[in-house]
Amino acid sequence: MSIIRLVVGLGNPGPEHEHDRHNAGFWFVDALARSSGTSLARESKFFGVVGRARIAGEAVFLLEPSTWMNRSGQAVAALANFYRIAPPEILVVHDELDLLPGQAKLKRGGGHAGHNGLRDIQARLGSADFWRLRLGIGHPRTLQLAQDVVDFVLHRPSREQRQQIDDAITRALDCLPLLAAGDPVAAMQRLHTRG
């Protein structure tokens, strides 16, 4: 069973996007860096902000691409190719419209479901066989909002929704050591049975 060597959080760079729903992946990596005492620093050759953490005794790279969302694969492929990290050793954390705020799901492989960040990563890696941590942000229709999806993901959630997303991030962080140590079944069981 492969272990996780790279955790990628998806989002858009810049202070104006810091609180957007689309940046839920960045929120996760920021929380992971804080909890593991890891500092993140800009590394231009990897087109992003990078850190090196230890999770469950394993060395794991953390990455927040500084490209825009739809070019996330440029950063992921640059780092993965340089360090010879295979797709099954990568966890991509992203916002998920099909899950409600507070929900989080872990899976390996699958389609991109119209998510531009995932689409570009699949294209640049030449594979969809990486892990995804899907952080629910809800969908404007499900939340009874008269907003286009594009507008919805580029705005901040309500205080209550942000708290629900942060709770899901905390639960997912609790499962990460199991995944990093090569026990994805236990990681999924723990995450999925708790919400």
| Residues assigned a catalytic role | 22
**194 phi, psi to nearest 5 deg:** -105, 10
137: helix, strand or coil: coil
Sheet holding 90-96, edge to edge: 41-43, 48-55, 58-65, 6-9, 90-96, 131-136, 104-108
Give the tokens for residue 95.
């916002």
Find residue 160's DSSP bridge partners: none
Closest CA to 133 of 174, 104, 101, 111: 104
Q: How many CA atoms lie within 13 A of 124 on its CB side?
A: 18
10: helix, strand or coil: coil
Contacts of 33 (CB under 8 A, 6+ apart): 39, 40, 51, 53, 62
Distance CA 29, CA 18 (A): 13
Residue tagged 């590394």 (tokens): 43
